[in-house]
Amino acid sequence: MKWTWVLVAVLLSFGALSLGKESLDFPEYDGKDRVHDLNAKNYKSVMKKYDIMVVYYHDHPGSSRVAQRQFEIEELALEVESRLIFIFTDDEVIEYDGELAADTLVEFIYDVIEDPVEIIDNSKELKGFENVEEDIKLVGYFKSHKSEHFEAFADAAEEFHPHIKFFATFNAKVAKALELKLNDVDFYEPFIDDPVLIPGKPYSEDELVKFIEDNDRPTLRKLQPHNMYEIWADDVDGEHIIAFAEEADPDGFEFLEILKQVAEDNTDNPDLSIVWIDPDDFPLLLPHWEKTFGIDLSHPQIGVVDADDADSVWLDMDDGEDMPSADELEDWIEDALSGEIDPDDDDDDDDDDDDDDDDDDDDDDDDDDDDDDDDDDDDDDDDDDDDDDDDDDDDDDDDDDDDDDDDDDDDDDDDDDDDDDDDDDDDDDDDY
């Protein structure tokens, strides 16, 4: 199949706009020009104006009102989606939802310009097919390129290209090795050896598309630079089960094999989807992840992460020394899916800590109040004691004064008596 392709992005130097989620809403022009109609007169000045700009080359809509309206809608869509990158290929528009790095974007573009369906014609190409394990893939056996069933398969491939890999063979020997009958299509999950035969052959394009859409969340999927934002947005009930494992490291490889076994055993569970991250693929993000999640990524890790606020709970593996068995990991995952292991529990613990602090403060205040009351009582007692002492002193003083007065009176009386006696004696002397 011959493909023509063009790449379109938005002028990334402009500020971001709020992005509408409703795909059926027509965008409205906000007065800012982010899409320019290039011509021979203005292209040099426009290209000098922006650091990054990608050109969408299209046929002139001409006088057709339908074509003109379609072109206007595309232009307005580009005005609104000011931070997104799209690739236009014939009748398909592919959104790039990966890392904004030149090498990653270029690699993705190379994938886009490849044919949506890769043909397997010999044992060497069959080996290459078998080595694709990190992506969803489909393979079908058809009579020829002209088969209507192959055409339906190819049309479905265009809907998912390049995110999902499509393979086909017209070779009976290859089909036998793949255990395919004529017009069969097998669906492979990532890291799962045994495929699922899509039921209901022969298939129409719509039937194939529906089956893929119903099964496009694998049990174990790898976060890759070209799909990192797409996978992160595809959470399960607001949470992700995240596994960090470095495939080139012995411990990481061992843990990855355990993850594959768990995925194989639970491929029928629609609620289970483990996101595997190889730290080697994201060296610049490692410090951020270690700080955010509070983990050491030099060892394998698995945890439950809240997709909104990045709260997380991680399985204790003793720095890779205590690797769980497949059964132990399944038990832990079941607890995570049931909500028994919940990253939001950290928030509850924080609230409890705050409550404890408040209680402590209240206790301290109560203690202070009690101490103050005790001090006041002591002061009152002291005052009473002082008053009693003062009263006693006053009484003693009064008694002393009274005693002194009595003594004085007695002395005076004695003196008077003595004087009287003296007078009497004098009188007696006179009489003699």
The three state secondary structure string of the chain is: CCCCEEEEECCCCCCCCCCCCCCCCCCCCCCCCCCCCCCCCCHHHHHHHCCCCCCCCCCCCCCCHHHHHHHHHHHHHHHHCCCCEEEEECCEEEEECCCCCHHHHHHHHHHHHCCCEEECCCHHHHHHHHCCCCCCEEEEECCCCCCHHHHHHHHHHHHHCCCCEEEEECCHHHHHHCCCCCCCEEEECCCCCCCEECCCCCCCHHHHHHHHHHCCCCCEEECCCCCHHHHHHCCECCEEEEEECCCCCHHHHHHHHHHHHHHHHCCCCCCCCEEEECHHHCHHHHHHHHHHHCCCCCCCEEEEEECCCCCEEECCCCCCCCCCCHHHHHHHHHHHHHCCCCCCHHHHHHHHHHHHHHHHHHHHHHHHHHHHHHHHHHHHHHHHHHHHHHHHHHHHHHHHHHHHHHHHHHHHHHHHHHHHHHHHHHHHHHHC
Residues facing 185 on adjacent strands: 140
Confidence of residue 169 (pLDDT cuts 50, 70, 90): very high
Residue extent(s) of CATH 3.40.30.10 domains in the chain = 99-216, 220-343
What does the pLDDT average to over 345-358?
A: 54
Measuring CA to CA, which residue among 48, 53, 47, 42 is closest to residue 10? 53
Among 89-93, 127-131, 175-179, the least confident range: 89-93
Task: Quote the CA–CA distance of 190 and 126 in Å, as a whole number.
Answer: 17
* pLDDT on residue 391: 46
Q: Which amino acid is at 39?
A: N
Task: Quote the CA–CA distance of 325 and 390 in Å, as a whole number.
Answer: 87
* pLDDT on residue 411: 43
pLDDT digits 0-9 by tens, 107-128: 998 898 899 999 999 999 999 9
pLDDT digits 0-9 by tens, 208-230: 999 999 999 999 999 999 999 88
Among 181-190, 300-309, 343-352, the least confident range: 343-352
CATH number attached to the domain at 220-343: 3.40.30.10
For strand 165-169 and strand 137-141, is the pairing parallel, antiparallel, or unpaired? parallel
Q: Is the pLDDT of residue 37 over 70?
A: yes
* pLDDT on residue 255: 96
Counting Cβ atoms within 10 Å, is residue 335 exposed (0-12), middle (13-18) or buried (19+)? middle
* pLDDT on residue 345: 72
What does the pLDDT average to over 361-387?
A: 49
Task: Quote the CA–CA distance of 76 and 33 in Å, as a whole number.
Answer: 10
Higher pLDDT: 409 or 85? It is 85
8 Å CB contact between 302 and 263: no
8 Å CB contact between 343 and 312: yes
Residue 60 C-beta-side C-alpha neighbours within 13 Å: 4
pTM tops 0.75: no
Cβ partners under 8 Å of residue 304, min gap 6: 239, 240, 241, 242, 312, 313, 336, 341, 342, 343
Calculate what percentage of the chain has a pLDDT beyond 70: 66
Q: Is the pLDDT of residue 10 over 70?
A: no
The owner of tokens 């012995």 is 250
Q: Which CATH superfamily is domain 99-216 in?
A: Glutaredoxin (3.40.30.10)
* pLDDT on residue 410: 45
pLDDT digits 0-9 by tens, 134-155: 999 999 999 999 999 999 999 9
Helix crossing, 205-214 with 148-160: angle to 10°? 40
pLDDT digits 0-9 by tens, 385-424: 444 444 444 444 444 444 444 444 444 444 444 444 444 4
The owner of tokens 């409890």 is 352
Confidence of residue 236 (pLDDT cuts 50, 70, 90): confident
